[in-house]
Chains A and B, each alone.
Chain A
């Protein structure tokens, strides 16, 4: 006897990943940790931006970096020089971080640090403009980076990434004099998709825009009372 039935599910295809992301976010919330997910194509300057960010926030915010890389620990080793805990995740052949990988990193983190002493987790995703945007990891905010050498059309070609971003950093601004790049067009293309996106032009080389970027991060840290030297945040942050 065979009978055919139909069950209505109406659940997200990425339900399993979403469940993990919600779990991670609840963990971060429990400890008053803000998590920011940085995404871009390979070579847009995520790691050097993190280097400048770690310098600028040194002594003001307790940071942990979760570093996603397909095979190496090169980026993680670069960031370890700044004296912050860096958890490296090698994704193997996977081109993005998912919530389970980040949960694994958080678990590792607990062995070394009291979560109550952490203010900010910065996640450097795998360099890729396509799928990291669809895989939430439990972040509170998404940041996309687009370097001026990549062209004005990238927000149109990779719309999911630029639509999902809460903040866009236009990187390598020091190269603008050498390029035929129309910055207004980049801004216009992003705003077609995402009018609320904060756009900050930055240069890790000259320090342009880094104070604004650091202020943006500080505004995302929801539990400001945890920051020990809170008063110093009202002063302009300097770039080292």
Chain B
């Protein structure tokens, strides 16, 4: 279940981002007690990787309990395996587990155009600023 370790790596990256941006928000808003909350994380996971999206979701939910990421939705977009054959000058869909060479000319799969992605695409977050009590006087 290597998704557990992948999730650990993902959480570390999210934590770095969160802490960095929280600091900036606080500096920017000196008079406010600001809160930065990540709500949704978009991942792009290629079909030609060792990652099973369901296991990743499960690991993420389990590992983020009682943390700054609790309740955050992990949105995983899967991308198909697409290769480009330079001899035929066309794209094709290799059949994972069965056949990878070009179905027309049998050239090896050398140029992968899609399917190897393992990426944190973007983060949705909310930013709430609560005026401090002293400012309300």
Chain A residues in contact with chain B, CB under 8 A? 1-17, 94-96, 98, 130-131, 133-135, 156-157, 159-160, 191-195
Contacts and interface: CB of A to CB of B under 8 A. Distances in A.
B39 A4 contact: yes
A3 B127 contact: yes
Interface in B102-121: 108-110, 118-121
Contact of B109 (A2, A12, A134, A192): A192
A193 B109 contact: yes
20 contacts: A5-B127, A7-B21, A7-B123, A8-B121, A10-B120, A13-B120, A14-B118, A15-B12, A15-B13, A16-B9, A17-B5, A96-B5, A130-B2, A131-B2, A134-B49, A134-B50, A135-B2, A159-B48, A159-B100, A160-B48
A194 B94 CA distance: 14
B47 to A, nearest CB: 11
Nearest to A13: B118
A157 B8 CA distance: 26
A13 B43 contact: yes
Contacts, number: 112
Given A131-B2, A156-B98, A6 B122 contact: yes
Given A156-B99, A160-B50, A192-B109, A16 B122 contact: no
Nearest to A194: B108
Contact of A193 (B17, B100, B123, B125): B100
Given A1-B129, A131-B2, A160-B48, A8 B12 contact: no
B67 interface: no
DSSP class of A's interface residues: helix, strand, loop or mixed?
A: mixed
B108 A5 contact: no
B72 interface: no
Contacts of B73: none
Contacts of A135: 2, 5
A6 B123 contact: yes
A19 to B, nearest CB: 9
B94 to A, nearest CB: 9
Given A4-B39, A160-B48, A13 B9 contact: yes
Given A98-B5, A131-B50, A11 B13 contact: yes
B127 A133 contact: no
A132 to B, nearest CB: 9
A191 B107 CA distance: 9
Contacts of A195: 108, 110
Contact of A9 (B49, B109, B122): B122
A15 B96 CA distance: 26
Contacts of A6: 122-125
